[in-house]
Amino acid sequence: MIATADIHWLAGYLDADGCFFATGGGIYRSCCPIIQVAASDEDLVQKAARLMGILPEKIVRPPKQKNHYKQQYRFYVGSTLAASWMMTLYPLLCQRRKERIKKILGIWRGI
């Protein structure tokens, strides 16, 4: 079970550096909620992944676009796992994130 302090850390981190979005949602396709975490601090991305139950090998290192750019580390959480994290973190996030999550989950639920 995840500690309350870890949920609060994750909420703060995703509020600042996370991305909440959905794919699909058209007339003939269902919506898939997604949380993306991407940063140049590998230890922070690894911690977020561990807390969210993501295996370390799911963290990708996309090629640097320019040599002087920092290395990026990224992972995605999708579908029901992303939706459950959105609902868990919702009360701890800023208003802008809450509005985005409310919209994503409304489409996902078919509301």
pLDDT in tens, 25-83: 565 567 899 999 999 999 999 999 999 999 999 999 999 889 999 999 999 999 999 99
Question: What does the pLDDT average to over 82-107?
Answer: 96
Above 70 in pLDDT, residue 106? yes
Query: Which strands form 18-23's sheet, in the order they lie side by side?
Result: 18-23, 32-39, 73-78
Question: What does the pLDDT average to over 3-30?
Answer: 88
- Whole-angstrom Cα distance, residue 39 to residue 33? 20
Output the pLDDT for position 31.
82
- Whole-angstrom Cα distance, residue 62 to residue 76? 13
User: Is pTM beyond 0.85 here?
Assistant: yes
